[in-house]
Amino acid sequence: MVFEYSSLPREFPRQYLYSQLRFEWEDLSKVFDELAGRELKSPADLTKWLLDEAELDAYIYEQRTLRYINSTRQTDDPLYTRPYEEYVEKLEPKIKLANFELLKKYVASPFRNQLPKDVYGLENKRRQNAVSIFRPENVDLEKTDSTLAQKYERTIGAMTVNFHGQERTLQQMAKFYEETDRSVREEAWRLADARALKDSGPLDDIYGEMVRLRHRIARNAGFDNFRDYVFVKKDRFDYTPSDCLRFHQAVEESFVPLSREIDKERTEKLGLDVLMPWDLRVDPEGRPPLSPFEDAAGLVRGAAKVVDGIDPDFSAYFARMTSLGLLDLESRKGKAPGGYQEDLSEVKLPFIFMNAARRDDDVRTFLHECGHSFHTFLMREKGLPYFNSGQNIQTEFAEVASTSMELISGEHYEGAFYNRQDARRSNKEEAVEIVKLFPWVATIDAFQHWVYTHPDHTQEERAKAWVRTFKRFSGLESYDGLETSLAYRWQRQLHLFEVPFYYIEYGIASTGALGIWAKYRRDRKKAIEAYKGALSLGASRSLPELFNAAGLKWDLGPAALGRLAGELRSAIREYS
Q: CA-CA distances (angstroms) from residue 487 to 467, 491, 500?
A: 6, 9, 19
Rounded-to-integer distance, Cα 490 and Cα 508, Å: 21
Kindly list the domain boundaries of the chain, sorted by start residue.
25-131
What 8-state DSSP symbol labels residue 113?
G
User: What are the tens digits of pLDDT across the range 336-390?
Assistant: 888 899 999 999 999 999 999 888 999 999 999 999 999 999 999 998 888 888 7
Rounded-to-integer distance, Cα 507 and Cα 510, Å: 5
The number of angstroms, rounded, from the C-alpha of 394 to the middle of its chain's C-alpha atoms is: 11
Rounded-to-integer distance, Cα 451 and Cα 443, Å: 12
pLDDT at 389: 83
Backbone φ, ψ for residue 352 (5° rounding): -115, 130
Rounded-to-integer distance, Cα 145 and Cα 215, Å: 11
Q: Which residues of the chain fall below pLDDT 50?
A: none
Task: Please give the sequence-ordered ranges of beta strands (E in DSSP) within 289-333, or none if there are none.
Answer: 327-330
Rounded-to-integer distance, Cα 557 and Cα 82, Å: 46
Q: What is the 3-state secondary structure (H, E, C) of 125-138?
A: HHHHHHHHHCCCHH
Bridge partners for 351 per DSSP: 342
Neighbouring residues of 510: CB distance < 8 A, sequence distance ≥ 6 = 399, 403, 434, 437, 438, 441
Task: Please give the sequence-ordered ranges of beta strands (E in DSSP) within 86-150, or none if there are none.
Answer: none
Number of residues written out for the chain: 576
pLDDT at 1: 62
Bridge partners for 414 per DSSP: 418
Neighbouring residues of 168: CB distance < 8 A, sequence distance ≥ 6 = 160, 161, 162
pLDDT at 250: 97
Rounded-to-integer distance, Cα 479 and Cα 486, Å: 7
Q: Which amino acid is at 370?
A: C
User: What are the tens digits of pLDDT across the range 127-155?
Assistant: 999 999 999 999 999 999 999 999 998 99
Rounded-to-integer distance, Cα 389 and Cα 229, Å: 24
Bridge partners for 350 per DSSP: 343
Bridge partners for 168 per DSSP: 161
pLDDT at 386: 82
